[in-house]
Chain A
């Protein structure tokens, strides 16, 4: 077991940031914490990296207790916080050397671990970190978090505000790191990234809604889901919301994801209703639920 979290709770004044959270991450696993801002993801990261003490519960990371062995944990984990936290006035090279020295190692010693990533920012090694683009800052932060060859890597929303192309590249980097035996706990508000993890925990309002592999998570979706399309999206949403048998209506790309609260749903009947409400070019087809559908269904309960 690489990370073990047992009944962790933490409050800020009267806000419960984490409420009785438990889960385990296996060695070498890529585990995702999926949830929006305010879900409690950062609080959990701070507890596991020994920067914050939980009120209740216990946790171990790489076999060390977060309270009793906090110094050992700090030597064995890499942490990339959500906010850029390198020294803006040091160059790329200086930042990397600084973090290597702090951890009693050298850049050369673990260079093979960061090589793939570092070569992308090497042309700018004399540039101050504060002058880097967002994508390059992110790569440098990842190099600095890896330079002491950690057993466990914590990444708090590494892809927030990052465009889809750079996000895809970042996840490819994570997969390569995982193959080198590093356990990775990563958080993200992007539901499409969840599918790239071995297992995920859906988290909202300080509570875990569900933990499983991505394919198993979507199997928990309790209803038949339909893609409904028509010419006027706004009118379609309004009309579906006014339908007496609707259970959920969510815009989803070019379609609306619709579920009905009857077990014997008849798509012809819905089509007729939409036609009488003057919608045109109507399509209704059954579709597979995504992790996002599952998240929304769990969150509304």
Chain B
């Protein structure tokens, strides 16, 4: 079932001088899977993710994302994935509608498509009252939900979420995860990093990076069994510092 893998990575490495930021990692992610990508600060997560989204060229190894090679088809990868991070989300000085129009244009949607998508998004997220307000005036939790929806505007095969819920209140955090479940249920693959270990439990499979290598990769249930602990936090604590 090779065609069911939307990410395939084999021996992927990235060196900065003598420093191996990512050291020969190998894994696959299936269609519709929620894949948690964990690791301590400095373990190499961001470097690995940058290679997968086509903005950093690997030093060695193989990787394909949405059937495109990271070396030769980085531009095609960018068109076929969604990306959202806590640091860069939306433009605060544009309204909700303007942001959707802007990102729709960036992703190459037609005017008619943008119009349809805007109406659909505003309806689904219940944003009728704030559609013309500047995004900067909205609570963080709303921004994150809109930002996630915007990352899905062009119906990408995979969406990369880099610490999407940092600082968000616990109720909104859960609403956000319900959106993730729904999206995955529709067949979109979710690739997510987080420092909330309860969120690691929501993933179908979880990988944990330590010093550039993937030291564990399995379902949360099997990882907990493997390390004889009752929660993902303890799995993480046992692994991340040896």
Interface residues of A (CB under 8 A from B): 35-39, 133-135, 157, 160-168, 189-192, 204, 233-234, 237, 250-254, 292, 295-296, 299-300
Contacts and interface: CB of A to CB of B under 8 A. Distances in A.
A292 B197 CA distance: 14
B195 A161 contact: yes
Contact of B237 (A134, A157, A164): A164
B195 A163 contact: yes
B195 A252 contact: no
A161 B167 CA distance: 9
B115 interface: no
7 residue pairs, one from A and one from B, having the closest CB atoms: A36-B169, A234-B181, A37-B167, A253-B201, A163-B40, A253-B198, A165-B240
Nearest to B39: A163
Nearest to A292: B170
Interface residues of B, number: 38
Contacts of B141: 36
Interface of B: 39-43, 139-141, 163, 166-172, 174, 177-178, 181-182, 184-185, 195-198, 201-202, 220-221, 231-233, 236-237, 240-241
A133 B177 contact: no
Question: Interface on chain B toward A: helix, strand, loop, or mixed SS?
Answer: helix
A135 B174 contact: no
A39 B168 CA distance: 10
A200 to B, nearest CB: 14
Contacts of A167: 195
Given A134-B42, A165-B240, A237-B178, A160 B185 contact: no
A250 B166 contact: no
A192 B241 CA distance: 20
B167 A296 contact: no
A38 B139 contact: yes
Nearest to B221: A254
13 contacts: A37-B140, A160-B167, A161-B166, A163-B40, A164-B197, A164-B236, A165-B236, A168-B237, A250-B171, A251-B174, A251-B177, A254-B220, A300-B171
